[in-house]
Homo-oligomer: A and B are copies of this chain.
Amino acid sequence: MILSSYKRIHRRYLMKKATIKDVSDLSGYSISTVSRVLNGNYPVKKQTKETILEAINKLHFTRNSVARNLRTNKTNIIGLVVADINNPYYSKIAKALDDGLFKRNYSLLVCNTDESEQKECKILETLIDKGVDFIIISPVSKNAELLRTIKNNGINVIIIDRNIGVSDFPFVGSDDFKEAKKLTEYLITRGHSKIAFITGTQKATTSQERLFGFRAALVENHLTFSNESLIEGLYKEEMAYENITKFLKRNQHNIQPYTAIFSSNNLMTLGLIKAAKELSISIPNDLSIVSFGQIELQDIIQPNVTCIKQNIDSMVELIFKNIDQLADDPTATISNDFIANSFLLGNSVKKIK
């Protein structure tokens, strides 16, 4: 009992933090003058300013942002909602974003959906609660309604990566259809006609668009598209690894085996490479592969995977274009920005026939 009481007192002692009132008392000026010095938005006599700054230093005072946020209805926090911050694709975006945000005096709250719609929903609610100024989201689901609620709460929303196909929100991402088609056409020009496709999560538009692009390339080249060529990967390495292993085992007994596989994201490409390696299937000799999204250490890994490399720098640049615009005027015109990606030629595709 005594101990617990002691702790409580000690705790309170620790919690003691100087407030603007303390600065006001010590310096002899009113809190508004202190506030003006803090914000530098109104003229203050040089002498006064110095006295106040002295008091601030003496008390180790730093402003309580929470109180400030309550007044100004701004938090200078931006929520980034992605599938998994451990995916290098997203961690690169996070890093590049943070660099620019630091300069703009914003902080980044990172949230992982793990591709779960339910988790995404809870995250968004938390972000509304927290009063973040912006939400930058690569959405799991096409829940435009929830995003509209957010917008009505005065939070700016920027959709990245996965377009949800509505016009209320700015979007920055790839032209998945076009790029996937291009990548497939490359396989076809190299003589491949039986091509399998590793799919992402059903919900994600990127996944659908990439599949459509793939199919379009086949159809245009008078090749048949069949659902049997689809391998479910859910955008996850582990899932892809398992299903690809099964697929490749089956494929070895096919009369007309698949000669190439299109992986629709970076993580699943890793699962693909591992599966092939374990089954002693040589890339590109026994199997050709392409990837939508670059894998890490591209230049060290064998095979060097031919892929679409998403241009993260220009992506982040466009995100900032939107941020700066919306910070200035939340009603600014909404635009869909497609980034220019690169086609990276590796050695993972064999020319056949």
A residues near B (Cβ < 8 Å) are: 7, 10-11, 14-17, 60, 62-67, 69-70, 73, 75, 77, 84-86, 88, 91-92, 94-95, 98-99, 102, 105, 107-112, 119, 122-123, 125-126, 128-131, 149, 151-154, 270, 273-274, 277, 295-297, 299-302, 329-331
Contacts and interface: CB of A to CB of B under 8 A. Distances in A.
B131 A65 contact: yes
A129 B18 CA distance: 12
B107 A149 contact: no
Given A67-B70, A85-B91, A126-B107, A331 B131 contact: no
A107 B109 contact: yes
A113 to B, nearest CB: 10
A161 to B, nearest CB: 17
Nearest to A329: B7
A109 to B, nearest CB: 5
B98 A112 contact: yes
Given A62-B128, A129-B64, A273-B300, A108 B107 contact: no
B129 A65 contact: yes
A90 to B, nearest CB: 9
Contacts of A129: 62-65
Q: How many copies does the complex hold?
A: 2
17 contacts: A17-B153, A62-B125, A65-B130, A66-B66, A66-B131, A86-B92, A98-B111, A98-B112, A102-B111, A105-B126, A108-B109, A274-B299, A296-B297, A297-B297, A297-B301, A300-B301, A302-B302
Nearest to A127: B107
B73 A84 contact: no
B84 A95 contact: yes
B330 A11 contact: yes
A133 to B, nearest CB: 12
Contacts of A98: 85, 110-112
A129 B75 CA distance: 11
Nearest to A105: B126
Given A85-B95, A109-B109, A151 B277 contact: no
Contacts of A123: 102
Contacts of A66: 66, 69-70, 75, 130-131
A10 B154 CA distance: 11
Nearest to A15: B154
A131 B66 CA distance: 7
Q: Which 5 A-B pairs have the closest CB atoms?
A: A15-B154, A86-B95, A65-B129, A91-B91, A66-B69
A109 B300 contact: no
Given A11-B331, A274-B299, 16 more contacts: A14-B152, A14-B154, A15-B154, A16-B154, A60-B149, A66-B75, A66-B131, A70-B70, A85-B110, A86-B94, A88-B91, A102-B122, A102-B123, A105-B126, A273-B300, A296-B297
Contacts of A99: 112
Nearest to A107: B109
Contacts of A301: 297, 300-301
Contact of A300 (B91, B126, B151, B270): B270
A8 to B, nearest CB: 9
Contacts of A105: 126
Contacts of A102: 111-112, 119, 122-123
